[in-house]
């Protein structure tokens, strides 16, 4: 006998709840056990009944909603929170994930994604539809780009010259000859560069030089 995944819907629109129930009706091991109107009612419901997944519709999310989600994620860690986000706003999405949501769907999500999301979060993994995945990736790349820029700003002009030559594959002696400095001074610049931008090896330094266009490929 297959395990049943008990779902509680959180939405105050009856027609929406009926629509979601209809979408899940043909899935034998997913059952909508309860329907509540808001997150406050969800918290009350979870105190008296065991649920695996809470499917929460958030139309105009507020800071208070995020605090409630965080509280539920903390007090009921076995319940996986799956969020329907009406608007794919980057700030809201990231805040919701930090609050404890295990999955996020948008209005572009399909029935198949809904079913897959319920299975995925029930099994302890995160699930984000394509729209949300793109937002998370964009945020990650933007954050990393900002970090790289901050690191670059810490370097002196001479250190940037040394970094460029390392990136182009020159040895310590060759760099010393090109810049008319001693090998020991090259090593000092190298150590300073690695400390300033938090790198461990020469290979990491070369990769940094390539990523940040110090080297023409």
CATH annotation of 149-211: 1.10.10.10
CA dihedral 160→162→168→173, nearest 10 degrees, is 180
Write out pLDDT tens, residues 44-79.
Answer: 999 999 999 999 998 777 888 889 999 999 999 999
pLDDT bucket at 200, cuts 50 / 70 / 90: confident
pLDDT of residue 115: 94
Residues composing the chain: 217
Q: Classify residue 50 by burial, with Cβ atoms within 10 Å: 0-12, 13-18, 19+.
A: exposed
Instruction: Name the superfamily (CATH) of residues 5-133.
Output: Response regulator (3.40.50.2300)
119 or 136, greater pLDDT: 119
pLDDT at residue 145 is higher than 70 = no
Range list for CATH 3.40.50.2300 in the chain:
5-133
100 backbone φψ class: left, alpha, beta (φ>0; ψ -120 to 50): left
Q: What is the pTM of this model?
A: 0.64
pLDDT score, position 1:
42
Note the helical H segments in 100-216.
Answer: 111-122, 130-153, 157-167, 172-179, 183-196, 202-211
């Amino acid at each position: 006998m297959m395990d049943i995944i008990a779902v509680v819907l959180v939405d105050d629109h009856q027609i929406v709840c009926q629509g979601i129930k209809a979408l899940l009706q043909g899935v034998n091991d997913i059952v909508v056990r309860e329907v509540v109107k808001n997150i406050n009612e969800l918290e009350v419901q979870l105190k008296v009944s065991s649920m695996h997944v809470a499917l929460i519709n958030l139309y105009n999310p507020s800071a208070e909603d995020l605090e409630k989600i965080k509280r539920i994620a903390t007090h009921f860690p076995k319940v996986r929170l799956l969020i329907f986000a009406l608007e794919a706003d980057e700030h809201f999405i990231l805040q919701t994930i930090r609050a404890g949501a295990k999955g996020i769907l948008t209005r572009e999500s399909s029935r198949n994604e809904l079913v897959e999301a319920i299975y995925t979060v029930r099994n302890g993994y995160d699930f984000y539809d394509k729209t949300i995945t793109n937002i998370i990736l964009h945020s990650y790349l933007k954050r990393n780009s900002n970090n790289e820029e901050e690191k670059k700003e810490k370097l002196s002009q001479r250190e940037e010259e040394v970094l460029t030559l390392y990136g182009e594959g020159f040895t310590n002696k060759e760099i010393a000859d090109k810049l008319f400095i001693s090998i020991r001074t090259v090593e000092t610049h190298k150590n300073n560069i690695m400390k300033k931008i938090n790198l461990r090896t020469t290979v990491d330094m070369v990769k940094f030089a390539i990523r940040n266009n110090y080297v023409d490929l």
